[in-house]
Amino acid sequence: MSNKTKHLSALPLGGVGIIGTNMMVYDCDGDLIVVDAGVSFPDEAAPGTDVIVPDTRFLREHAKQIKAVFITHAHEDHIGAVGYLWDDFAGAPVYASALSQLVIQGKLQELGIQPKKGQLRTIQPKEANVVGPFSVEFVQVSHSVPECYALAITTHYGTIVHTGDYKFDDAAPFGQVTDEARFTEIGKEGVLAVFGDSTNVMNPNESGSEAPVIAHLTKLIDEAKGRVFFAAFASHFGRTFEVAKAAAKNGRKVCFLGRTINKFIAHSKVLGYWPKELNNWVIDAEEAAGLPAEKVFVFASGTQGEPGSSLTRLSQGADVRGLKIKQGDTVIMSSRMIPGNERGILNVVNGFYALGVNMINEENDRLTHVSGHPGAPEVKRMYKMLQPKYVIPVHGETRHLLAHGKLAAAEGYHPCQLKAGHKLILAEEGAKPDFKPYLSTKVYPHGFNYIDGLNILENDPLILKERKRLGYDGLIVASLAIKTTTGEWTSDVSLQTRGLIDEVLQADVMKSAVNKTGQALEAVFQNGRIDDRTRAAEVISQTLRRHFKHERGKQPATVVSFVEV
């Protein structure tokens, strides 16, 4: 395909082959819109980093073509990168619901960013938002956060439905049910392609409703004897508020631990989601610590085993603002394990068991949580309404995407698999009647960047590679004294290690390292003078890495310094 050919295409910059970092770029005749800007969370491959965001070099290279950004809902994997990538949107308007706007504003404020007047735009369901050749309609869907929407994106080539996260639930929080009537209408009008949520597609059953979960959690609280510590995703405040109301009816004062849940509480009060029944029942941690056990309900953050979260610290026996887990307390984890977080979550669970609490989670009680994503029957239900020509699985790991494709094919739809760094061409100007979508041969910039404190590591593995080497293989610092005037070294190299060996117990290994380094320098600088410090540093580093690889199976990071005398 020529780059100049007019077409309709989709380029995933995240959310394909990975849970999180959702970002899709739709291209119509060279004009672009961006859907979502999410984060995912790093594992041992990126030690010390905070979050992972999509690599947006493509957006920076085509900044003038970006007409708008559309946010489907206020979950971190769809909205968390907005602040970090704000400049990459090049001033394009950002369309979002009232709740999503509040979340975005908070993120921008933390980063010291002031959006341009009118850049943040509040949407209304079923209204057409026209930007360039696109007309984008927000269609309400049920999910585990209020104000969640699918997008119906209409162009002269046809309509794309980008489902975002969704499910079907008549007892959805705050009554925000999936708008089946509108989806059916859109299907009758004609749908070219659906970009559909794949997260839960391997579940052969429907995800299930919130109603029985709330009823069961209420029963657990009623039966609990000691304090109740409850953990759920902070953004799932519909469930949290219902459970807190049940605790209040049970005579328990309610304490909310965690920065994120308190942010959502503030947002809920602005938007009218806060239940007035809780007005006289909320207390701080210090007050909760002084009440009888049967009078306390605590929301604790950290369902995914996040280090430093209140739930993790409590599981370690720590005192969190006066609150400390005691034998006889009940801990309810109303959440699921997100792939990649298993070890951290199990550490928390085992910690609570060791402390002698009544531990309840999805492992021993499946009624404590229900997914916000569609199971296979719900995916079929969505497609039956929309009757799309093509189905494109998104938002999932490879196994989810392939399973979604098989489901679509079995239902008689034409599945198309996306590939990182490639555009999926959905339609072309002047195409023949037998045209089928295809992947571009050109590879576009893609990948992931890492937020590392106040830095963004832009798709550059060097820092992370060095950091992993420090973590796995340790560090060795070599110092060599040389004469300023002649360059002669005046003594053996001095070595210090960190996280590598015990220098006292393994003194022979250290002595051998010193001797081999001296011999290597003498072989290269036969006149006894170092006239090329860069070369000398390479010789020392290579010798030390080879030595410790042979002696201890480790190749430590090395730092070489020269001391002039």
pLDDT in tens, 361-419: 988 998 999 999 999 999 999 999 999 999 999 999 999 999 999 999 999 999 999 99
CA atoms of 468 and 247, how far apart (whole Å): 45
pLDDT above 90 covers what percent of the chain? 79
Distance CA 527, CA 525 (A): 6
- For the structural domain made of 463-564, what CATH number should be given? 3.10.20.580
Say if residue 463's pLDDT is above 80. Answer: no
Question: Which residue(s) pair with 481 in the sheet?
Answer: 563
| Helix spans in 362-456 (H) | 376-386, 398-410
- CA dist 259 and 177 (Å) reads 28
CA distance 516 to 522: 10
| Residue in the structure block whose two tokens are 């489907």 | 72
Residue 160 phi/psi, 5° resolution? -105, 135
What is the C-alpha to C-alpha distance for residues 285 and 320, in angstroms, rounded to an integer?
Answer: 8
Q: Any idea what DSSP says for residue 552?
A: H
282 forms beta bridges with 254
Give the per-residue pLDDT at 47. 63
Backbone conformation region of residue 220, classed left if phi is above 0, alpha if psi is from -120 to 50, else beta: alpha
CB 525 within 8 A of CB 469: no
Q: Distance between CA atoms of 268 and 274, rounded to whole angstroms?
A: 5
7-205+371-459 CATH pick, 1.10.1510.10, 1.10.3720.10, 3.60.15.10, 3.30.70.100? 3.60.15.10
Q: What pLDDT was estimated at residue 389?
A: 97
Task: Give the pairing type, strands 330-333 and 358-360.
Answer: parallel
For residue 9, CA distances in Å to 22, 58, 429, 440, 442 come to 17, 14, 12, 10, 13
pLDDT tens-digit series, residues 70-100:
999 999 999 999 999 999 999 999 999 999 9
Give the per-residue SS3 of 380-395: HHHHHHHCCCEEEEEC
Q: What is the per-residue DSSP string for 6-41?
A: -EEEEEEEESBSBSS--EEEEEETTEEEEE----B-
Q: For 358, phi and psi rounded to 5 degrees?
A: -85, 100
H-helix or E-strand containing 187? helix 180-189
Tens digit of each residue's pLDDT (9 = 90 or more) over 475-507: 999 999 999 888 888 889 999 999 888 888 889
pLDDT one-digit tens code per residue, 232-255: 999 999 999 999 999 999 999 999
What mean pLDDT do residues 446-470 have? 73
> Superfamily for 210-364?
Metallo-hydrolase/oxidoreductase (3.40.50.10710)
Query: How far apart are the C-alpha atoms of 360 and 67, rounded to whole Å?
Result: 48
**How would residue 1 be classed by pLDDT, with cut points 50, 70 and 90?**
very low
Residue 2 in this model has a pLDDT that exceeds 50: no
Q: What is the pLDDT of residue 326?
A: 93
Give tens-digit pLDDT for 309-326: 999 999 999 999 999 999
State the average pLDDT for the chain: 92
Per residue, what are the HEC states of 233-298?
CCCCHHHHHHHHHHHHHCCCEEEEECHHHHHHHHHHHHHCCCCHHHCCCECCHHHHHCCCHHHEEE
For residue 21, what pLDDT band results from cuts at 50, 70 and 90? very high
Q: Per-residue pLDDT for 565 more than 90?
A: no
Residue 491 has phi, psi (to 5 degrees) of -160, 175
Cα(547)–Cα(10) distance, rounded to whole angstroms?
51
Burial 192-231 (b: 16+ CB within 10 A, else e): bbbbbbbbbbebeebbbbbeebbebbbebbeebebbbbbb
Q: Answer yes or no: are the C-beta atoms of 311 and 231 closer than 8 Å.
A: yes
Which long-range contacts link 221-224 to residues 24+ away (Cβ below 8 Å)? 221/246, 221/247, 221/250, 221/252, 221/297, 221/332, 222/246, 222/250, 224/330, 224/358
Indicate if the pLDDT at residue 555 is higher than 60: yes
323-364 pLDDT, tens digit each: 999 999 999 999 988 777 788 899 999 999 999 999 999 889
Token pair 């049967």 in the structure block, residue: 294
Helix (H, G, I), strand (E, B) or coil at 331: strand
- Specify whether the CB–CB gap between 326 and 317 falls below 8 A: no
- Tell me the domain boundaries of the chain: 7-205+371-459, 210-364, 463-564
Residue 244's φ and ψ, nearest 5 degrees, are -65, -40
The residue type found at 384 is K
Q: Which two tokens stand for residue 198?
A: 């794949």
- 454, 458, 459, 461: CA torsion to nearest 10: -60
